[in-house]
Amino acid sequence: MKNYDVAIIGYGPTGAMMASLLGKQGIRTLVVEPNLDIYEIPRAVHYDGEVMRIFQSQGLHEKIKETSRDPGSISFINGFNWKTFHQDLSQTDRVHCWPNNTFFSQPNLEKHLRQNVDTCESVDQLLGWKLEKLDEDSTGITLTIRHLKDKKSKYYRCSYLLGCDGASSITRELGGFSLQDLGCDEPWLVCDLMLDKSIKIKNEAYQICDPARPVSLIPCEPGHLRWEFMLNDNDDHSDLENEDTVRSLMAPHITHLNSQLTEQDGNLVRAKVYRFHALLADRFKKGRIFLLGDAAHQMPPFLGQGLCSGIRDAYNLSWKLAGVLAGQWDAKVLDSYHSERHPHVEEVINLAITHGDIIQTRNPLKALARDLFLMLGRVFPFIISTIKFGQQWRLGNGVFARDHRSLNRYMLRQSTIKLNSGEEVLLDSLLGESFALIGFNADPTVLLSQQNIDFLNAAVTIVTLGEGGQGIDKEGLLQHWADDNEVALALLRPDRQIYGLCYGHSHNSLKDQLNKLFDQLKDQLS
């Protein structure tokens, strides 16, 4: 019976990202997927700047950018065709040095991810196979998988099992996880219209907040329009999926993108009724089994965070698994996957529901009040501060230092660094693959003890920005953040999350503060 460090059930974006992350570190990984080929109809269409930064970590950012679209703006339009809200997305703060909202082709994304995995000799793929049974013991898990065509079974062992197998996850079922309903169950008609790429369309997304029928209209990658129509109680689902019906629903809105377009233009490749759910697994880890992506959480699409959350799950868990499997850290570190990711995802889901409530209002009086509220917010922006595009969500408690200023548990801002040679690079390209220590006008090399370096059993990448350093923050935003918060040193985890900070105006020396950070880290990892 062949033995693997990790078995991944499901080879969609989350499973493929995890396979890439583990494979690049040489971890023996088995991927099991029932489908032989990538599903060619687009599903997820949005990722944010943090997720593009994760793609960047795998060297995929340039390829993915080629088939993506950075929307210029988003507008909310009411039933009277008034523009009640408008956001110029180019003006939102790009914390990760990438656009906060990008629309893309999921089939192309999956191809790029799988091509990355194909270069990893430690990853084996079994396509056309399905998980049928699992037996967990104190040292690992025995898997029974069955071929979907000839029904033959095979048996494998793994140290850890990752369920990346979507909303109907067999891993979740066999592992005995349960789902919590967070209170969203709305039917929508989801459609994908493919236009000739030569047709120019306005680079703007629209939320049609019409109480008669709310609609989302999103220009995705070039030539692809995503439509979403909320269902009414008296709608016939089968009739709604009829192409003539779909095109009649498009008719009042398609000219927003190009005045010459009509509802007859383009090729309709999908029209299907889905229920938008808000579901969260009671736990993301149970014994040696982990849930990631839609297997762990499902959310309405109003923030475009479904795929993003799955990619974040993979990035969070991968470095912890690698350290535990290498014998660097105690297996207790893996418990932090649930404690960090579960509250984070729950907050995202609740905010998505809030945004959905704004869009889905069906009562005409409530809709009028909403419209007036949004229009007032254009004059006084603080009124609508809860409507955000590009915000960060803080992770839950886990492998982090205690910080009374609450500046950790976020990804550190990424900036363009102008090196002393004149070359310009993105910050992450300087940080290596393990922990990193960044000094802001302070040299960490004289503060970091060999004992602490030896503890991590991996090279600690040291970067000094500012006076006497390797380069400067070109835009100045990262340096301004450090100056405003009196940050002299930032200790980063392998996933670029801020583990802890040392402050320049503390009564304790920088060396004492740094040693205290490492004392906490040793306690959490050992």
> In the predicted model, what is the mean pLDDT of the chain?
92
More confident residue, 408 or 41: 408
8 A C-beta contact, residue 188 and residue 277 = no
For residue 130, the surrounding DSSP H or E stretch is strand 129-136
In terms of C-beta distances under 8 Å and separation of at least 24 residues, what long-range contacts does 85-89 make, across chains too? 85/374, 85/375, 85/377, 85/378, 85/384, 85/387, 86/378, 87/387, 87/389, 89/389, 89/390
pLDDT classification of 357: cutoffs 50, 70, 90: confident
- Determine the pLDDT at residue 169: 97
2-65+104-181+278-359 shares its CATH topology with 416-525: no
What confidence category does residue 85 fall into, taking pLDDT thresholds of 50, 70 and 90? Answer: confident
Amino acid at 249: L
pLDDT at 455: 82
User: Any residues with CB less than 8 A from the CB of 327 and at least 6 apart, and which?
Assistant: none
Q: Are 442 and 472 in contact (CB under 8 A)?
A: no
Q: What is residue 97's predicted lDDT score, i.e. its pLDDT? A: 93
Considering the segment(s) 2-65+104-181+278-359 as one domain, its CATH architecture is 3-Layer(bba) Sandwich (3.50)
Q: Is residue 253 very low, low, confident or very high in pLDDT (cuts 50, 70, 90)?
A: very high
Interval 148-175 mean pLDDT: 96
CA atoms within 13 A on the CB side of 137: 4
pLDDT in tens, 55-69: 999 999 999 988 888
d(CA 17, CA 313): 10
Neighbour-count burial for 458-486, b at 16+ CB within 10 Å, e otherwise: bebbbbbbbeebbbbbeeebbbebbeeee
Place of tokens 């690049």: 24
Per-residue pLDDT for 280 more than 70?
Answer: yes
Alpha-carbon distance of 215 to 230, in angstroms, equals 6
CB atoms within 10 A of CB 180: 12
Report the greatest alpha carbon distance in the chain.
72
361 pLDDT above the threshold of 90 = no
Q: How far apart are CA 466 and CA 488, in angstroms?
A: 11
pLDDT for the residue 383? 67
Residue with tokens 């997720």: 51
What gap in Å lies between CA 501 and CA 513, rounded to an integer?
8
Percentage with pLDDT > 90 across the chain: 74
Residues with Cβ within 8 Å of residue 456, at least 6 apart in sequence: 328, 434, 435
Q: Give the CATH architecture of domain 416-525.
A: 3-Layer(aba) Sandwich (3.40)
Report the run of H or E that residue 174 belongs to, with start and end.
helix 170-175
Please, which residues bridge with residue 500 across strands? 491
Q: Are strands 153-163 and 2-9 parallel, antiparallel or unpaired?
A: parallel
The bridge status of strand 123-127 relative to strand 224-230 is: unpaired
| Of 343, 354, 332, residue with least CA distance to 281 | 343
List CB contacts of 401: < 8 A, sequence separation 6 or more. 408, 491, 499, 500, 501, 517, 520, 521
SS3 content of the chain, % helix, strand, coil (to 5): 35, 30, 35
Domain boundaries, the chain: 2-65+104-181+278-359, 416-525
Q: SS3 string of 455-514?
A: HHCCCCEEEEECCCCCEEECCCHHHHHHHHCCEEEEEECCCCEEEEEEECCCCCCHHHHH
Q: Which residues sit opposite 134 in a β-bridge?
A: 143
